[in-house]
Chains A and B, each alone.
Chain A
Amino acid sequence: MAATPTQPAAPAGIDLESLQRSLRRPRTLFSYVMSVLTGAATLAALFPLFSVLYMLVVRGTATLSLGSLRDLPPAAMTAGGGFGNAIVGTFVIVAIATLVSVPLGVLAAIYITEFGPDTKTASAVRFAAKVLTGLPSILAGVFAFAVVVVVTGEFSAPAGGVALALLMLPTVLLTAEEAIKRVPSRMREAAIGMGATPTQVVTKVIVPTAAPAMLTGVMLAVARAAGETAPLLFTALFSNFWMSRTTPNFLPKTIGDLMKPTASLAVMIYNFSGSPFENQIALAWTAALVLVVIVLVFNVVGQALAGRSAD
């Protein structure tokens, strides 16, 4: 590829043509093929996601109405009905799980990063958390069944909450640990240099700085927990009624309201999708759509909050 003599004013010694992009050169060709491949892989990865979403929207919107969000599950062979109690139940169970797992996870993360980073306890906790991330969710249910259901003698929302908390804990702990590690050590040093006690360093500098990233971890954990079915099957069980008996009324009012079998979207989808009745199957689709939207909203709000406080 020598420069042709017609080319004007080529600086001596520089082969201008060799600077032009050409697919005949192996490196250029390789780069081009790889770009196409990565693009194709991205599309392939998106395909199942969007086909699931498409099915959900098509089948789920058919019975989506105010009534389906508000009413109680229909009995067999009846029309109408909804899953209002399952929406409330999902929120209550996930809230209980969050209340249990977030303080535990964040405090443990603070301990293993700030107070005893190289202790045996820290490495044991880290190892346990990593093992727990791979825990089959059904085992979390078995654990909560033994610890809560058998002890209280009742299928209940707290039992479901404990099962989900067990699944959320490792995610919360490990992401909080990462978030704390990413706080620049010079901020830590600055606080110590100002005469902050170790507790003040954590509460006034480390946690506020790491909070956005911690929140992302919590949101991931919540999103996962909200969709779990297996751990709820024999902990929260299911219910065809509102948590509170004093209708019309959505929210639990007393401890007694909590300590009963509780409906959740995930279990409702599981139950109704296997049902032989057309109406119940349609409602399962709608419930699945609602569950996905709830999780999506959680994620978007979480990201927005995290982004705002990072400024």
Chain B
Amino acid sequence: MPLTPVTTDGHANGAREQMLQDGTLIDCNIAELHYGKFKAVRDVGLKVKKGTITAFIGPSGCGKSTVLRCLNRMNDLVRGFRLKGHVIFRGQDIYASRVDPVAVRRHIGMVFQQPNPFAMSIFRNVAFGLRLNRYKGPVEDKVEAALRQAALWDEVKDKLRTSALALSGGQQQRLCIARAVATEPAVLLMDEPCSALDPIATRRIEELMTELKKKYTIAIVTHNLQQAKRVADTTAFLYVDTTSGGRTGYMVEYGPTQTIFENPREEHTKEYIRGEFS
């Protein structure tokens, strides 16, 4: 397995320079991913470029979320998780043994499928990450900036001290986005962020993503092909391989969104996209 040689400053210089040149922020290469004896994903290789939106699409159970969760080591929480491969973020393999997964997650934030605000006030939800990082500056300003970025400020500015659980689903999800961007992570992972929302809230989140990509790099898992088509610059299509008995997800195709949707190379991709659009 080609692991990047790690130098004393924690970065692989050769790889890093190359990554800086073509703007790659995350180089993900998963040969095999197991949960215990179950092989969940194989052969996924893609590069997430800085300032773009990368979408993962594919049928249920193809491992889209699993791959996404690899990018900030959320899978470490699952018992029996093993990864053969590497995920290189800014020249550093985040699965190297000396890397602290907690630190990785502070640079690569996450928005989940179900809005999951904490049972505390709106303000404290957004300030949560700042306080984790012992941020010493003016917290109020950061919270306001984050809420503005999440297009939520005007709706909540007069009730920052009320419970976040009283917000509507769409507002809660934007709050979760505000919470994630408050600490200014380099990458924002979104795991079907709109699946629990109505079409209007979905549209707002999509507009928000387009806005956020000026500052952050985004990777999103979505079931909604139109959504991928609308927001993503690059799209990866994953499919399930049932030939060897189990259900193993693998990456079929990956490229610019337009190419994937209008002129896909692989037969599986064609079928999947045709099925959705015709």
Contacts and interface: CB of A to CB of B under 8 A. Distances in A.
B72 interface: yes
A26 interface: no
A184 B72 CA distance: 21
A194 B105 contact: yes
A14 to B, nearest CB: 38
A193 B112 contact: yes
B202 interface: no
Nearest to A196: B132
Contacts of B163: 311
Interface in A192-236: 192-197, 200, 204-205, 208-209
A190 B77 contact: no
B112 A204 contact: no
Given A204-B128, A311-B163, A193 B118 contact: no
B119 A208 contact: yes
A209 B77 CA distance: 21
Interface in B152-188: 163, 176, 179-180, 183
A209 B183 CA distance: 23
How many of chain B's residues touch chain A, expressed as a range?
20 to 34
A7 to B, nearest CB: 46
A125 interface: no
B116 A195 contact: no
Contacts of B116: 184, 186-187, 189-190
Nearest to A118: B79
Nearest to A198: B102
Contact of A194 (B103, B114, B119, B128): B128
Nearest to A208: B120
A295 interface: no
Contact of A193 (B109, B117, B120): B109
Interface in A153-212: 184, 186-187, 189-197, 200, 204-205, 208-209
B112 A195 contact: no
B274 to A, nearest CB: 35
Given A191-B118, A193-B74, A194-B179, A204 B132 contact: yes
A100 B119 CA distance: 29
Q: Which of A186, A191, A192, A194 has the most CB of B within 10 A?
A: A194
A190 B72 contact: no
Interface string A47-61: 000000000000000
Given A193-B74, A193-B105, A209 B132 contact: no
Given A186-B112, A200-B132, A204-B132, A193 B119 contact: no
Given A195-B102, A195-B106, A197-B102, A190 B118 contact: yes
A197 B102 CA distance: 6
A197 B116 CA distance: 18
B9 to A, nearest CB: 21
A192 B105 contact: yes
Interface string B97-139: 0000011111101101010111110000000110111000000
B180 A192 contact: no
A190 B72 CA distance: 13
B118 A187 contact: yes
Nearest to A184: B116
Contacts of B176: 190
A25 to B, nearest CB: 44
B24 to A, nearest CB: 23
B72 A193 contact: yes
B99 to A, nearest CB: 13
Given A187-B118, A208-B119, A196 B102 contact: yes
Contacts of A195: 102-107, 109, 129, 132-133, 183
A110 B80 CA distance: 23
Contacts of B102: 195-197
Interface string B179-208: 110010000000000000000000000000
B176 to A, nearest CB: 7
Contacts of A186: 112, 114, 116
A259 to B, nearest CB: 43
A193 to B, nearest CB: 4
**Interface hub of A190, A192, A200, A311 (most chain B Cβ within 10 A):** A190
Contact of B74 (A192, A204, A205, A311): A192
Interface in B28-67: none
Given A190-B116, A192-B74, A194-B128, 9 more contacts: A186-B112, A190-B179, A192-B77, A193-B109, A194-B129, A194-B179, A195-B133, A196-B102, A200-B132
7 contacts: A186-B112, A187-B118, A190-B176, A194-B132, A195-B109, A204-B128, A311-B163
7 nearest A-B residue pairs (beta carbon): A195-B106, A193-B110, A195-B105, A186-B116, A190-B116, A209-B119, A194-B129
